[in-house]
Amino acid sequence: MNAPQDGQLRGQLRYRADELPFENSYASLPPSFYTRLQATPVPAPYLVGASASAAALIGLDVEELARPETVDAFSGNRTLPGSEPLSAVYSGHQFGVWAGQLGDGRAILLGDVPANEPSPPGRLELQLKGAGLTPYSRMGDGRAVLRSSIREFLCSEAMAALGIPTSRALCVTGSDMPVFRETAETSAIATRMAPSFVRFGSFEHWFYNDRKEELRTLTDYVIERFYPELRNAEQPYRALLTEVARRTAELMAQWQSVGFMHGVMNTDNMSILGLTIDYGPFGFMEAFNARHICNHSDHQGRYAYHMQPRIGQWNCYALGQALLPLVGEVEDVEAALEIYKPAYEAKFDQLMHAKLGLMTRQESDSKLIDDMHTLMQNTHVDFTLFFRRLGNLQLDAPAGDEPIRDLFIDRPAFDAWAAQYRDRLRQESSDDIKRKQAMDAVNPKFVLRNYLAQIAIEKAQNKDFSEVARLLAVLERPFDEQPENEHYAELPPDWASELEVSCSS
Ligand code: AMP
Ligand code: MG
């Protein structure tokens, strides 16, 4: 998605921040679903980063986000006219264990506003994350640190540019107010947007509290507002479960296809709309290892890269359990969830064919793709560079393989697989130029490598926010060559291997 040019916004909507025509559909639910509250002000907030393309979605000009009044509003120091701030209650399974009540411990929903995309009358909810204590803060302080807020901001926008369903990030504001994690850090507030932040855990909350009426109210709300096409299904609740399982399965395939690891796939972090939400200790795969664990606190590797599709399914079963009182029969819940595996496999297969520039399907393709993963695993090749450079392969000029061969220490291993790949390409008379074009459109050159985020964070911690903006601009065009930004596509430097990402945020 390209940033709007010269203040020209796509779509029809255009507002000042104070004119945003807020509603709050979530507030129409019974009071037991949330607590109304105000954000807790922070001293002297400043703008850390803003996304022009996210702003354009709700008709805001990016310059509007830099105005002091707007910075105040998106720091929680001033309530935007018409907004009805609230925090929602939910529960969830954390690391496979029932955790009981959680809820928006540091997120405050301002309400929903009209959105330019997909096309009016779409709406997006605006949420402040890190805006102070709520009744659901438990042991937490209601705050978020600058480091994790920048990571969520950049990754949300990077995922959107990759075409992966995700919540969006409008802006990040900071304050010098200290926040204590392993050490003293400073606080930040991210404003994020999605049609809804309802999670699997929102349904589990009512199921495990034996509150069938609220469970039905929530489910009806979600169908009515976000899945209206299911209203007339024979069994709408079962149909919802199937649709959510399908979306979740496809999301997992998309994550796998770009090497994205979420890090904390607890049921309270699973969107009922099949979006990537709640960015924490996420990572993009670099040296390939299917068992890679990006979250340093995940000792068992429950959320390792190769586990994500299975965990997505496990989470859908948790949702199925919660919806059982509405669906009625265990058999119907199981039948509704049967779609998960084939939906995942079909999507993953489609994405892998596209990544390899294959236009046709053959039975032997699964062996080609399995052998590729074995090659990647054995050689720990860089995930992003491997697929990107593979697009340069020429059918009849093996000498041209050098840039991709250079990624491998074990070059004969690559050559062996490349021979198999070339044979397969010849079988469909693949055209080098067309194939490269198609592959470059799906294999990103630029992803949010940890070390790139780290550089932007360290500068921001010294009040230089320029790298946040520069990196955002690079990640907004992940498939473009961008010769001036070649260094953003390089292998991580040696110091990057020391980087650890924990749950602390
Ligand atoms: P997460 O897995 O990071 O999405 O968070 C799990 C739960 O902990 C959610 O209910 C969050 O709202 C809550 N939480 C995380 N960090 C904080 C914090 N600093 N203050 C209050 N609640 C928090
Ligand atoms: Mg969460």
Which bin fits 154, alpha (ψ -120 to 50), beta or left (φ > 0)?
alpha
C-alpha 202/C-alpha 319 separation (Å) is: 9
Ligand 1 lined by 298 (C-beta under 6 Å)? no
- 43 prior amide bond cis, ω within 30: no
pLDDT of residue 149: 98
Both tokens assigned to 408 = 């491998």
Ligand 1 lined by 372 (C-beta under 6 Å)? no
Q: What is residue 273's DSSP assignment? A: T
Ligand 1 lined by 104 (C-beta under 6 Å)? yes
CA-based nearest residue to 452, from 176, 155, 169: 155
CA of 57 to the centre of ligand 2 (A): 24
Which bin fits 357, alpha (ψ -120 to 50), beta or left (φ > 0)?
left
pLDDT of residue 117: 81
Both tokens assigned to 227 = 């899945």
Distance of CA 61 to the CA centre of its chain: 24
- CA dihedral (445, 449, 453, 454) positive or negative: negative
H or E element that contains 49: strand 46-50
pLDDT digits (tens, 9 = 90+) for 29-85: 999 999 999 999 999 999 999 999 999 999 999 999 999 999 999 999 999 999 999
CA of 137 to the centre of ligand 1 (A): 7
What residues of the chain score a pLDDT lower than 70? 1-11, 119-121
Could you state, in order of their start, the residue ranges of all structural domains in the chain? 8-197, 201-251+263-279+304-350, 450-498
Among all bound ligands, the one having the nearest atom to the CA of 134 is: 1
Which residue type occupies 497? S
Among all bound ligands, the one having the nearest atom to the CA of 94 is: 1
Best of 94, 98, 102, 295 for a ligand 1 pocket test (most atoms within 8 Å of beta carbon): 102
Neighbours of ion ligand 2 (CB under 5 A): 269, 278
Give the burial string for 351-374 (b: 16+ CB within 10 Å, else e): bbbbbbbbeeeeeebeebbeebee
**What does the longest C-alpha to C-alpha distance in the chain come to?**
68
Q: Per the residue annotation, which of 268, 278, 382, 440 is the catalytic one?
A: 268
CA-based nearest residue to 505, from 149, 183, 58: 149
Q: What is residue 311's DSSP assignment? A: H
pLDDT of residue 501: 79
Ligand 1 lined by 266 (C-beta under 6 Å)? yes
CA of 288 to the centre of ligand 2 (A): 27
C-alpha 75/C-alpha 26 separation (Å) is: 21
pLDDT of residue 417: 98
Ligand 1 lined by 278 (C-beta under 6 Å)? yes
Does residue 220 have an active-site annotation?
A: no
CA-based nearest residue to 42, from 118, 142, 125: 142
pLDDT of residue 3: 42
pLDDT digits (tens, 9 = 90+) for 426-446: 999 999 999 999 999 999 999
CA of 264 to the centre of ligand 2 (A): 8
CA of 280 to the centre of ligand 1 (A): 10
